[in-house]
């Protein structure tokens, strides 16, 4: 009689995982302990992270809510600071580089730029006569810096893809949710001024996009200015002008992107308002060129377009579901005129 077949060893069965391993071996807690512990945990977090709490409260849109939050947060911070409870978080923040560095005196930088006696930023002697800028080749690639908010995050990949790899070094330097209205959230002028301090690594071609986070009330001189009011416009123009003027230096170009239409009509109108401000500020600054994203992303009449037929006959969606950000196809489309502008100004067409 034949011996029974011997099968190979069965693989170890995978037991279905329990919700949390071994919960029966752990001590259970009562509901009052759980609620108490949760509230205590939040209190501990607020005290230990009180500076973050103040920062978070300060970044809220101006209004009564913000005032209340800031007052509460500052109160907590006073208590925490008195007991040095916020020190560990500050120390870790220093170590990780999260702690903001001291702001640069942007006004001093701008005065230095406008002063005839100020030292000229080093520029190569071999200047392309067609462009007035230095020659760009594989041994000295062009340093391109992409700055702005999350829209620049969408655009960066396509710009990097379309730009020649051997003649460009591209740095993406964007901050989600940032803009020029709220330097308390992120101080772009200070950041750019710091970047420009080292002539050897300073960006040469800057591409900037701002706006979607900017149309909000701001505080100035102790009062809150309503977005879109004449006083607000004046203040915002000044902030845009500061960024543009920081990049007025020999051997540096600035490409400013205006905004396409948005799905939300109110937001769209706000972006059109800001784009008009950008154009008017750029018009008096010959080192700034403007690229109209709406020319490639909007419908013919200037309205919002989720998708448009491309030269290849396909109609991919250009905008993400939020009606603001760009899909890859939309960003590819937008990158073309951006690169065309850079290529023209730096003689990289060939």
Query: What 3-state class would DSSP assign to 62?
Result: coil
- Chain residues 220-259 in contact with other proteins, contact rule CB under 8 A: none
Query: Nearest 5°: phi and psi at 184?
Result: -70, -25
Using CB under 8 A, count the residues that bind other proteins: 71
Stretch of 117-125, 225-233, 254-262, 320-328 lying at the interface with other proteins (CB under 8 A): 320-328
Among residues 253, 155, 156, the alpha carbon closest in space to that of 205 is found at 253
Tokens of 256: 């400013």
Helix (H) or strand (E) run with residue 292 in it? strand 288-292
Q: Which of 167, 194, 237, 263 binds other proteins (CB under 8 A)?
A: 263
Question: To the nearest whole angstrom, how small is the minimum distance from the Cβ of residue 207 to other proteins?
Answer: 15
Q: Which of 83, 176, 231, 283 binds other proteins (CB under 8 A)?
A: 176
183 binds other proteins (CB under 8 A): no
Separation of alpha carbons 277 and 234, rounded Å: 10
Question: To the nearest whole angstrom, how small is the minimum distance from the Cβ of residue 222 to other proteins?
Answer: 27
Stretch of 4-12, 124-132, 225-233, 267-275 lying at the interface with other proteins (CB under 8 A): 4-12
Separation of alpha carbons 95 and 311, rounded Å: 51
Q: Using alpha carbons only, give the angle 110, 113, 116 rounded to the nearest 5 degrees.
A: 135
79 binds other proteins (CB under 8 A): no
Question: To the nearest whole angstrom, how small is the minimum distance from the Cβ of residue 68 to other proteins?
Answer: 13
What Cα–Cα distance (Å) separates residue 296 from each residue in 205, 303, 348? Answer: 22, 12, 22
Would you say 178 or 252 has its CB closer to other proteins? 178
Q: Which of 183, 228, 241, 316 binds other proteins (CB under 8 A)?
A: 316
317 binds other proteins (CB under 8 A): yes
Would you say 175 or 194 has its CB closer to other proteins? 175
Residue matched to tokens 């109108």: 269
Q: For 204, left (φ over 0), alpha (ψ -120 to 50), or beta?
A: alpha
98 binds other proteins (CB under 8 A): yes
Stretch of 86-94, 201-209, 216-224, 280-288 lying at the interface with other proteins (CB under 8 A): 86-94
Tokens of 52: 């973050």
Q: Are 185 and 60 in contact (CB under 8 A)?
A: no
Binding mask 9-28 for other proteins (x = CB under 8 A): x-x--x-xxxxxxxx-xxxx
- Chain residues 323-342 in contact with other proteins, contact rule CB under 8 A: 327-328
């Amino acid at each position: 009689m034949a011996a029974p077949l011997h099968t190979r060893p069965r693989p170890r069965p995978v037991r279905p995982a329990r919700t949390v391993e071994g919960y029966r071996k752990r001590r259970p807690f009562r509901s009052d302990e759980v609620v108490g512990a949760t509230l205590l945990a939040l209190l501990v977090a607020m005290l230990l992270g009180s500076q973050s709490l103040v920062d978070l409260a300060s970044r809220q849109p101006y209004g009564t809510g913000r005032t209340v939050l800031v007052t509460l947060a500052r109160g907590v911070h006073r208590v925490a600071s008195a007991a040095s409870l916020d020190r560990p978080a500050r120390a870790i923040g220093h170590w990780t580089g999260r702690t903001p560095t001291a702001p640069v005196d942007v006004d001093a930088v701008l005065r230095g730029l406008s002063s005839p006696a100020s030292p000229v930023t080093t520029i190569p002697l071999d200047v392309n006569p067609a462009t007035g800028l230095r020659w760009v080749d594989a041994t000295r690639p062009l340093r391109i810096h992409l700055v702005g908010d999350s829209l620049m995050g969408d655009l960066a990949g396509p710009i990097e893809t379309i730009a020649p790899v051997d003649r460009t070094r591209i740095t993406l330097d964007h901050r989600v949710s940032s803009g020029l209205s709220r330097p308390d959230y992120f101080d772009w002028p200070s950041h750019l001024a710091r970047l420009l301090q080292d002539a050897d690594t300073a960006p040469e071609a800057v591409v900037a996009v701002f706006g979607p986070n900017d149309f909000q009330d701001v505080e100035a001189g102790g009062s809150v200015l309503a977005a879109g009011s004449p006083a607000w416009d004046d203040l915002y123009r000044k902030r845009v002008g500061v960024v543009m003027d920081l990049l007025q230096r020999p051997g540096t170009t600035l490409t400013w992107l205006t905004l396409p239409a948005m799905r939300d009509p109110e937001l769209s109108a706000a972006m059109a308002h800001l784009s008009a401000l950008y154009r008017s500020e750029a018009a008096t600054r010959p080192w700034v060129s403007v690229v109209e994203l709406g020319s490639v992303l909007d419908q013919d009449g200037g309205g919002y377009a989720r998708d448009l037929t491309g030269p290849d006959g396909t109609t991919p969606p250009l905008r993400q579901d939020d009606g603001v950000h760009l899909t890859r196809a939309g960003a590819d489309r937008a990158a073309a005129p951006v690169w065309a502008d850079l290529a023209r100004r730096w003689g990289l067409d060939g």
